[in-house]
Structure 1
Amino acid sequence: MRTILAGLVLCSAIARAAAASEPSPDMIARGEALVVAGDCAGCHTADPAKPFAGGKRIDTPFGAIYAPNLTPDRDTGIGAWTDADFTRALRYGTAPDGSLYYPAFPYPYFTRMTKDDTLAIRAYLATVPPVASRNKLPELRWPFSYRSLMRAWNYLFFKPGLFEPDQSKSAEWNRGGYLVTGLSHCGACHTPKNYFGADKDALALSGNEVGGWFAPRLDGAARSGLKSWSVEDLAEYLQSGRNARSHADGPMAEVVVNSTAKMSDADVRAVAVYLKSLPAGPPEPAATVPAEAEMKAGQAVYARFCIACHEADGSGAPRIYPPLPGNALLQSDNPASTLRIMLDGAHTVTTPRAPNTGEMPAYAKQLSDEQIAAVTNYIRNSWGNAASLVTPADVAKARSQGP
Structure 2
Amino acid sequence: MKKALRYLLFFLGIVIGLVAIAATFIAVRGIPKEEARRIDLKVAATPARLARGEQLASLLCASCHLDPNTKKFTGKHLVDVPQFGDIYARNITQHPELGIGKWTDGDLAYLLRTGVKPDGSFLPLMVKLKESSDEDIYSIIAFLRSGHPWVAPDDTRQPETKYSMLTKVLTNTGILIKPVAYPTAPIPQPDSTNAVAWGRYNMIQLDCWMCHSKDFLKLDPDVPEKSLGFFGGGNVMKTPDGKDIVTRNLTMDPETGIGNWTEEQFIKAVKYGQVPEGPGLREPMPKFSTLTDAEARSIFQYLKTVPKIVNKVERVP
Q: Please give the TM-score of this superposition, normalised by the length of structure 2.
A: 0.71
Where do 5+ consecutive residues of structure 1 fail to align? 1-19, 285-331, 342-403
Q: How does 1:264-303 map to 2 (within 5 A)?
A: 264-281=292-309, 283-284=310-311
Q: Deviations over 1:183-221 (max 9, x none)?
A: 211123111225477666142211112111011111122
Matched with 1:389 is none
Whichever residue aligns with residue 303 of structure 2, its letter is L
Matched, 1:134 2:134: no
The one-letter amino acid of 1:209's match is V
Match of 2:237 among 204, 210, 227: 210
Kept after mapping to 1: 8 A contact 2:171/2:177? no
- Specify whether residues 234 and 111 from structure 1 end up closer, same or farther in structure 2 by C-alpha distance, changes over 3 A only: same
1:201 maps onto 2:232 in alignment? no
Counterparts of 1:277 and 1:245, CA distance in 2: 24
Residue aligning to 1:255: 286
User: Percent of counterpart pairs with the same letter?
Assistant: 24
Q: 1:231 aligns with which of 253, 263, 276?
A: 263
Quick one: distance in 2 between partners of 1:177 and 1:21? Answer: 26
Deviations 1:320-364 (A, max 9, x none): xxxxxxxxxxxx2x42xx23x2xxxxxxxxxxxxxxxxxxxxxxx
C-alpha distance in 1 between matches for 2:117 and 2:257:
38
Q: 1:124: Cα distance to partner?
A: 0.8
- Higher alpha-carbon Rg: 1
CA contact (8 A) 2:83 2:164 kept: no
Q: Which amino acid aligns with 1:201?
A: S
Amino acid at match of 1:279: P
1:116 aligns with 2:144: no
Count of matched residue pairs: 259
Q: What residue ranges of structure 2 are gaps of 5+ in the alignment?
A: 1-41, 239-243
Counterpart selection for 1:41 from 62, 65, 75 = 62
Asked whether the 8 Å contact 1:112–1:160 carries over to 2, the reply is no
Letter in 1 for 2:202: L
How many Å apart are 1:79 and its aligned residue?
1.6
Does the C-alpha gap of structure 1 residues 158 and 89 become closer, same or farther in structure 2, counting only changes over 3 Å?
Answer: closer
Do the aligned partners of residues 46 and 165 (structure 1) sit closer, same or farther apart at CA in structure 2, a change above 3 Å counting?
Answer: closer
State the TM-score, normalizing by the size of structure 1. Answer: 0.57
8 Å contact kept, 1:234–1:272? yes
Superposition deviation, residue 113 in structure 1 = 0.6
User: After the TM superposition, which residues 2-401 of structure 1 pair with which residues of structure 2 at under 5 Å, given as runs?
Assistant: 22-38=44-60, 40-58=61-79, 59-102=81-124, 104-107=125-128, 110-127=129-146, 128-142=151-165, 144-145=167-168, 149=172, 151=174, 153-154=176-177, 170-181=193-204, 183-193=205-215, 195=217, 201-207=227-233, 208-211=235-238, 212-245=244-277, 247-251=279-283, 255-256=286-287, 260-281=288-309, 283-284=310-311, 332=312, 334-335=313-314, 338-339=315-316, 341=317
Contact 2:92-2:99 at 8 Å conserved across structures: yes
Letter in 1 for 2:210: A
Pairwise CA distance, 1:130? 1.3
> Could you give the per-residue CA deviations for residues 88-109 of structure 1, whole angstroms, max 9, x where no partner exists?
111111111112111x2122xx
Compute the displacement of 1:145 (Å).
Answer: 4.7
Q: CA deviation at 1:136?
A: 2.8
Tell me what 1:349 maps to. Answer: none
Distance 1:202 1:44, change over 3 A: same
Q: Is the 8 A contact 1:192 1:204 kept in 2?
A: yes
